[in-house]
Amino acid sequence: MTNKAFFSMTAQQYELQRLTRKVASLESGVEIVKLKKEKNKLLKYYDKIIKKLKKELELSHAETTKVCRIWFEVFEDLEQEKQKIIEKMNKEIEVLKKKNIEMARQRDAALDKLRESKKNEYAAKVALNEAESKIAELNIRINKDYTNSSKPSSQNPNHKKICNGRVKSEKKPGAQPEHKHHPRKKPEKTAKTVEIPPTEEMLDNPDLRATGKYLDKYLIKCHLVVEVIKFTTPIFRNKKTGSRVHAPFPSNVKDEVNYDGTVKACAYLLKDRCNVSIGNTQAFLSEISNGELNLSAGMISNITKEFSQKTEKERNEIYCELYKSPVLHADFTFGRVNGNQGTVMICVNEEGVVLYQSKDKKGDEGVKGSPLEFYEGTTVTDHEAALIKHGKKHQECLSHISRYLVSSIENERNLTWNKRMKKWITDTLDYWNNINDGIVQEDAQKDSDFLNQYSEIMELAKKEYEYEPPNDYYREGYKLYKRMYEDREDYVLFLKDKSVPPTNNIAERYARVYKRKNIQAMCFRSKSGVEYFCNGLSVVQTIKNRGENIFNAVTERFNRHAEV
């Protein structure tokens, strides 16, 4: 047996002995009594402690109760005070709520009033801007006349004096020292000569001697001589049929009383060229002939139609000649036809061959049937969309552009390109006119300088409009710049080709011939009346431009046989 096992058995034996002794003492009761004494002792001790603690607890409870009662009283006072404060605050809150509601109502009313005021202010500003724009637009329209637009001067009856376009010089008005004297043309034939003898004072004066020369002066008188030719021929009657037979009369002697081409030319030129009314034409011819010419109103009225019919072939020749022209001027003008607006298209070349055509309206429909419809040369027109699309090349009328620039200068005072462009047009027109008048020679360097100036002015206009855009009520200046910038060849063609004129004034002048008849003298009652008048006017104006005697030419055409 090992030592470890030995010691283990000894400890067990010792514990067993101890427990045995303890059981024996418990069985004998001694230990129990002892334990009871100790328990009673402890019970007394703890009862004492419990009583003491109960007493302290009672005291503490009483104190706590007292403190609680005091605190409850304090709490009640505080609660009452709190309730008073709450009631007071509630009253103040109610008052503040009412004030807040009133202030909110006042604020909303003020905001509504402010919004209404701002709305009214905005509406007033909008109305003011609209009124200012309308006033500016109306001012532009009121101030628009023949100087700053294409409006004719005839529509401004009380306009100021129209100045000519010549450059002012320092020379005195009237004949210049180098100017050749142009006296009145002396007549080649005279009916008689009246000799005026010298006075007696001249014959008796020894200081005077006869030079053998004579001083001639002429007195011209005008008489209308009416020559009446009577045609007579014997009449025969057929014994079998009973019909009358006579020798044929000349082709221009058909009615009982007939009028020669001279009479018809007088009536026609008075009515359609001199713009004399039918009644006044009738009265004038009767008075100047001492009552021998008494034309009927119907004959004078239909004489335009007769002249138109007799010159149809000539107008076709005018049409062909205009179509073959290298440069063609074209324009539209307006008049009244039976209370409605009528349109007349005018085509003319540099030789003065002119054609008037009555149209229902302008535009593409107005171009149809005119020499411009299939024209392939160079056209000179104002800015009419239906006209500029025809022809291979086009030159804008710079007279119109100059007037548009005047309008831009008047309404766009802060810009400078319009003033420079107007001066450029004036300088180039003078240069072109001097070349065509033979005053100066064509200068290629000057042409190049003018073209460069045009480009510089266009770039200046571009910068100025980018910096200061056009107004809503006036955009004509900007539109003019856009056209001149994008289609610059249409504005400088006359500098590259001196045979092309820079203005369309020739067509404008011929337009005034029609307008003078239509506006100042009469109003056409039918479209056919306008057509007959335009047909005759085309022939008469062409005759005049060719230098022929108008009366003789018109007489010759009236004496022609009627064309079938």
Task: Give the SS3 label for residue 337.
Answer: strand
**Per the confidence metrics, is the pTM higher than 0.75?**
no
Rounded to whole angstroms, how far apart are CA atoms 534 and 527?
11
CA distance 338 to 142: 29
Rg (CA), the chain: 61
Give yes or no for a contact between 380 and 328, defined as CB atoms under 8 angstroms apart. yes
Contact status, residue 495 vs residue 395, Cβ threshold 8 Å:
no
Residue 428: per-residue pLDDT? 93
- What is the structure's pLDDT at 419? 93
pLDDT of amino acid 389:
87
Residues in the chain: 564
Distance CA 345, CA 356 (A): 6
- DSSP track, 33-49: HHHHHHHHHHHHHHHHH
pLDDT of residue 564: 29
The pLDDT assigned to 562 comes to 40
Q: Which of 291, 287, 284 is nearest to 267 (CA)?
A: 284
CA atoms within 13 A on the CB side of 524: 26
The number of CA neighbours under 13 Å toward the Cβ of 219 is 3
* CA–CA separation, 429 and 435 (whole Å): 10
Per-residue pLDDT of the chain in tens (564 residues, 90 and over written 9): 555 554 555 777 777 887 777 777 667 767 677 777 887 888 888 888 888 888 888 888 888 888 888 888 888 888 888 888 888 888 888 888 888 888 888 888 888 888 888 888 888 887 887 777 777 667 666 666 666 666 666 666 666 665 665 666 677 777 777 777 777 777 777 778 888 888 888 888 888 888 888 888 888 888 788 888 888 888 888 888 888 888 888 888 888 888 888 999 999 999 988 888 888 999 999 998 888 888 888 898 899 999 999 999 999 999 999 999 999 999 998 888 877 888 899 999 999 999 999 998 888 898 999 999 899 999 999 888 889 889 899 999 998 899 889 888 888 888 999 999 999 999 999 999 999 888 888 889 999 999 999 999 999 999 999 988 887 778 888 999 999 999 999 999 999 999 999 999 899 888 888 888 876 656 778 888 889 999 999 999 999 999 999 999 999 999 876 432
Residue 435's contacts (CB-CB under 8 Å, 6 or more residues apart) are 441, 442, 498
Q: Specify the DSSP element, H or E, that contains 425.
A: helix 417-436
Count the Cβ atoms, other than its own, within 10 Å of residue 550: 14
Task: Give the model's pLDDT for residue 563.
Answer: 36
For residue 507, give the nearest of 344, 361, 320, 269 by alpha carbon.
Answer: 344
| Cα maximum dimension of the chain | 222
Distance separating alpha carbons of residues 398 and 421, to the nearest angstrom = 11
Map tokens 């001279």 to a residue.
Answer: 262
Closest CA to 324 of 346, 351, 305: 351
> Token pair of 364, please?
């593409």
* CA atoms in the 13 A half-sphere facing the CB of 211: 3
Give the Cα separation of 323 and 476 in Å (integer): 34
332 touches 345 (CB < 8 A): yes
